[in-house]
Amino acid sequence: MTHRLTTTSPDFAAAFTALVDARREADEDVSRDVAAILKAVRAGGDAALADYTRRFDRHDLSASGWAVDPADCRAALDATPAALRDALELAAARITTYHEKQKPQDSDGVDSAGVRLGARWSAVDAAGLYVPGGRAAYPSSLLMNVIPAKVAGVRRIAMVTPTPGGAINPLVLAAAQIAGIEEIWRVGGAQAVAALAYGTDRIRPVDVITGPGNAWVAEAKRQLYGVVGIDMVAGPSEIVVVADGRNDPEWTAADLLSQSEHDPTSQSILFTDDAAFADAVAAAVERQIPALSTHAVAAQSWAANGAIILVRDLAEAMPLVDRLAPEHLELAVDDPEPLFAQVRHAGSVFLGRMTPEAVGDYVAGPNHVLPTGRRARFSSGLSVLDFMKRTSFLSLSRDAIGAIGPAAVALAQAEGLPAHAASVALRLK
């Protein structure tokens, strides 16, 4: 039964608030378990990694090998069907082109007081990439995480991925070859994140860790933030579609299910001002689910977290969309610009009827690693900047310190910091 809400209903405010506040993260309280894993890896290093791999991934690292041989990546790419290889290479090229435009510029100048001021950008030395190997393997996510790091100029990229039974998805290896990754470790879970953060005898530590994972991986990244940088703490996937009645309901249903099929906790919401279209989309969703190979997950997700919201006009939907701050937002209308102008909180926006969210997952160019769980209110998708940091610099002449130094002395004295004041005042004499 599709969840239906109508803004004219007396109980709409309470029902929509419940939808906004719904907790869709995994039910397990994983914090304590993750803390124990991090502690064990920090203390036990490689031995702890090998133990967790035997327990969780059911294979012996000493037998399968700790690292993937680069020759295996080359072989996987060579064995990839031509059309699929072309698709991966097209995606890589477009992602690279888009992210190259994100590189920040250094600044250097002299202000009116004669003070030289500027900033210099530089890449982190090493980045760690987590690639899932459980429910599904996503070569597209590998490209989305590696390419911004490469564009930023990161010298070393270490990839970790769980390999249940010792097996690894050949498409992931093919994407790794295209992306130019040479360091791949057969470890996963919170223990792999710990190894990247703390380092072991085999795995050198990194500065930033990015990439999607399950609840344990997300919690490990959250607990290790500060030891390393992270991209974000990601939750279940989301899509909001704002559509009028001139859309094909089959298209809209497919767009909604494109996120429902990710995970039972994913969320898909349609806003429309056409009741007949709402009915048609609901019926189309029910028709399409059984045909999906992912039907069990999609059905569970749609039943638990899907919703269709009828509004008086589409402009009424936009403040509601902002409250949801969705990961993905489709504006499926002839002229999306007026609605787009009202959007303040969304990870990525897809404009017009011919722009399905799924094209952004693969070949459009912008990054598909996006904030979830209403975090688009204060954060952005993965970018080149996540792998860079800014160092400011300044240089004062005798005249320049004479111009601004007395004010610094006054402020230091007012804050009760005499050594601060003296370090400036001595240069003024």
pLDDT at 249 > cutoff 90: yes
Q: Which of 3.30.365.10, 3.40.30.10, 3.40.50.1980, 3.30.420.10 would CATH assign to domain 31-109+122-230?
A: 3.40.50.1980
| Common-topology check for domains 31-109+122-230 and 235-377 | yes
Provide the residue ranges of all domains of the chain, joining segments of one domain with +.
31-109+122-230, 235-377, 396-428
348-351 sheet: strands from edge to edge: 3-6, 307-310, 267-272, 238-243, 328-332, 348-351
pLDDT band for 24, please (50, 70, 90 cuts): low
pLDDT in tens, 78-106: 999 999 999 999 999 999 999 999 999 99
Mean pLDDT on 242-252: 98
Split at pLDDT 50, 70, 90, the class of 234 is: confident
Mean pLDDT calculated for residue range 55-77:
94
**Type of residue numbered 332:** A
Question: Would you say 306 and 260 are in contact if contact means Cβ atoms under 8 Å apart?
Answer: yes
State yes or no: pLDDT of 27 exceeds 60.
no
Residue-wise pLDDT tens digits, 323-357: 999 999 999 999 999 999 999 999 999 999 999 99
Take residue 352 and report the two structure tokens written for it: 């017009």
- HEC profile for 78-131? HHCCHHHHHHHHHHHHHHHHHHHCCCCCCEEEECCCCCEEEEEEEECCEEEEEC
Third-level CATH fold of 235-377: Rossmann fold (3.40.50)
Name the amino acid, one letter, at 331. Answer: L
What's the pLDDT at 16? 94
- Which tokens go with 219? 């919690």
pLDDT recorded at residue 29: 81
Q: Residue 271 — very low, low, confident or very high, per pLDDT cuts 50/70/90?
A: very high
pLDDT of residue 134: 55
pLDDT of residue 2: 81
233 — pLDDT class (breaks 50, 70, 90): confident
CB 378, CB 322: distance < 8 Å: no
SS3 406: helix
**Residue 27 exposed, middle or buried by CB count within 10 Å (0-12, 13-18, 19+):** exposed
Active site residues: 327-328
